[in-house]
Amino acid sequence: MGDTFAALPDTHVIPTYWPVPGLGTIPMNAFLLRSAEPVLVDSGVEILDDEFLDALGDLIDPADLRWIWLTHEDRDHTGALPRLLEMAPRATVLGTFMTFGRAAPDGWLPPERTRIVNPGDVVDVGDRALYAVRPPLFDSPGTLGFLDQKTGAYVASDCFGAPLPGDFVATRSADDVDAYTLRSAQITWATVDSPWVVHTDRARLAEHVEEVRQFEPSALLSSHLPPVRRRIADSLDAVIAAQSAEPTPGLTQEQLETLLAQFTPAAVG
């Protein structure tokens, strides 16, 4: 776990960092919106659920949460969800039908605690509206982000992510990363997390990216990148550039074993 910080005056990042062999370290962010009806976006990694809940508790009493927005069902986005449903009895979980369905093997979410949201829907959270948007790139068909229509923040789930060198990964703004390093890492991540991007139609992809540009977001909040504010156009362009990139080689068994060895009792004891 990293230290929580404010990406915007009422929007906090709860970061986790995870090494990716051969690529760098990837942030895994959840977000807390201090709206009139507080919203938690995703719920961390299960293996660190105690640490995640402690970090969340430093920002807000979980019982005050009214909404939990699942950008999709991957385990790095749903880790503390079962415990949060107990700790936040008034919270409703927002997500697509595909997200809830694909999460079902881990146990059905109580239907009275969920609400299906689709692209184009608007969720009123008291002092603002959240406009549901599917980002240009995604690794799950259930993926759904949103535009915070009060702050202009664009929550993009896995899109725009980047595995970064260790001296950059914990920065509070991706604007602090040099342009070449960031662009290269974002293109790499795009071909890893959304490998279909190299097979898509470039013009159609550019149209989707242009839809995001037209929102004129004040910040890009990716699950796997420090917040972007000044260089939003560069991040949008990196998504389009990924369409013609060489696919990144997959993780090998040897790399996996090297990574797992770091977490054995002998390695940490």
In this prediction, residue 267 carries a pLDDT of: 45
Residue from 138, 143, 53, 49 nearest 103 by CA? 143
State the DSSP code for 62: G
Q: What is the 8-class DSSP label of residue 100?
A: H
pLDDT tens for 179-211 read 999 999 999 999 999 999 999 999 999 999 999
What pLDDT score does 269 carry? 42
Residue 154's pLDDT is: 97
Q: What is the pLDDT of residue 121?
A: 97
The number of beta carbons lying within 10 Å of the beta carbon of residue 70 is 27
Show the tokens assigned to 70: 């699942």
* Cα–Cα distances in angstroms (integers) from residue 33 to residues 94, 167, 219, in the given order: 14, 28, 14
Q: Listing from the earlier edge strand, what are the strands of the sheet with 114-116?
A: 5-8, 11-20, 24-33, 39-41, 67-69, 92-95, 114-116
Q: Give the CA angle between residues 42, 10, 142 to the nearest 5°.
A: 25
The answer to whether 32 touches 11, Cβ cutoff 8 Å, is: yes
Low-confidence residues of the chain: pLDDT under 50: 266-269
pLDDT value of residue 264? 59
**Pair 14, 52: CB distance under 8 Å:** yes
